Amino acid sequence: MKKYILTPIIFTSLIFFINSVVAAGSVTVTSQVLDSTVRPGGETTIFLTLANPSTTASVSNVKLSISPGPYITPSANYIEIGGLDISSSQQTSLTAKVSTNAISTISYIKVKVDYYVGTTPYESTINVPITIKRIPILQVSEVQYIPNLIEPGNKVTLYFNLKNEGDGPAKDVRVILNQTTEKFIVELSPETFVDSIGPKEAMSVSFDIIVDPSIDIGTHTIPITLIYLDETKNTNYTAVKYIGLTISGKYNFIITPSQSIVAPGKKGNVDIQVSNAGTQEALYLNLRILPSDPIIEVTPSAVYIGNLKSDDYDTEKFSFKINDNADQGVYPLNLQLNYRDPYGKTYTEDFEVDMTVSSIKEFNSSKEGKLSPFTIIVVILIIAAVAYFVYKKIKKRKK
């Protein structure tokens, strides 16, 4: 085996060569890119530092020629620095804009440096790498339940769109409904798979779920976990999105009328009791009496009840008059309830109760033996006067 020995002569010659190069002057170029990655349509800044390490000679007429790689547009193709003194440096910069249709890749900007040492021309070249990265961003939108009125124990289908708001495709997308909250169970699989969702593309996703029968009335949330890759399949993304689940109670109104005896051409009163036998409070409740034959007058025609809680009731009084030509019998009295649920949805329900029209004879009989309000007041005043007179007489005797 041969051994190569660096003789003192060769070693001295090598040192002399290196020193002569440094002494002769040269330009070294280093680069720094402001951003580690740049998205399509974005831009970054490139800093170039030019140095003359020579201790004896300066360089002159330094010029930079910039050649861009794919998807890159530099802010300048040519830069003049001028000269660099002995052991000096100078920094310059340029911006690099990335095309909107760029793909995830590493592109380059080639920088060629031309300069003179004395009258001798020199050149050197460096490549500045720029990492272009398209990022997928998945969002959940257009959430819908069918049926849209959901009660405890219901089976419903959940629909939503999975939209890619990013500039890169999402690959191997997993959509997972988290059932750990025990608010619902997924009828089949709690996970679905989508091969790819392109930029600005939306995919429809659906799950059949069964709502827990013991769930509370009100608004709940369903967590949806999204797991996906970028187009290079080297970067993994995980996001949790929350969608609302509104559980409504049942409404069951019971209407109970209580009317006075009334005859054709006569006026009467009716008390309407509205009972909320459901499981949810009714808000902004209004009660109306609709046109109903043989009623020709109703006062008032509508009453604002307000809020009516579950297992509560309210009674409202109405005055009415019967048509002169009405026959004796039982007629339908049409009523209408208008209200909102706690989530702002409006409801209208129509009801029909019985109203009895009696004969004139029955009406008059009901009035016999009854004192008018004026008569009752007079009787009360007489009784009070007699009682006062008796009291004064007894008091006088005691004296």
Q: What is the CATH number of the domain that holds 209?
A: 2.60.40.10
Q: Is the pLDDT of residue 17 over 50?
A: no
**Is 16 a domain residue?**
no
Strands, sheet with 120-132, edge to edge from the N-terminal-most edge strand: 78-84, 59-68, 105-117, 120-132
- Give the separation between CA 197 and CA 140, rounded to whole angstroms: 13
The pTM (predicted TM-score) of the whole model is 0.61
217 vs 223 pLDDT, higher one? 223
pLDDT at 180: 65
Percent of the chain predicted with pLDDT > 90: 60
Evaluate whether residue 372 is within a structural domain. Answer: no
* Whether residue 45 sits in one domain with residue 116: yes
- Using alpha carbons, select from 121, 128, 123, 135 the residue that is nearest to residue 107: 128
Torsion angle in degrees (nearest 10) through CA of 164, 166, 172, 176: -50
CB 337 within 8 A of CB 272: no
Distance of alpha carbon 121 from alpha carbon 271, whole angstroms: 110
- The answer on 227 and 272 residing in a single domain is no
Query: For residue range 48-80, what is the model confidence (pLDDT) as tens digits?
Result: 999 999 999 999 999 999 999 999 999 999 999
* 356 and 261 within one domain: yes
Q: In the beta sheet, which residues pair with residue 306?
A: 285
pLDDT recorded at residue 188: 83
Residues 231 and 153 in one domain: yes
Is residue 176 predicted with pLDDT exceeding 90?
yes
**Residues facing 111 on adjacent strands:** 66, 126
Residue 370 has pLDDT above 70, yes or no: no
Q: Which domain holds residue 174?
A: 138-247
Cα–Cα distances (Å) from 197 to 87, 156, 175, 189, 358, in that order, read 55, 26, 12, 21, 74
Can you give the pLDDT at residue 372?
52
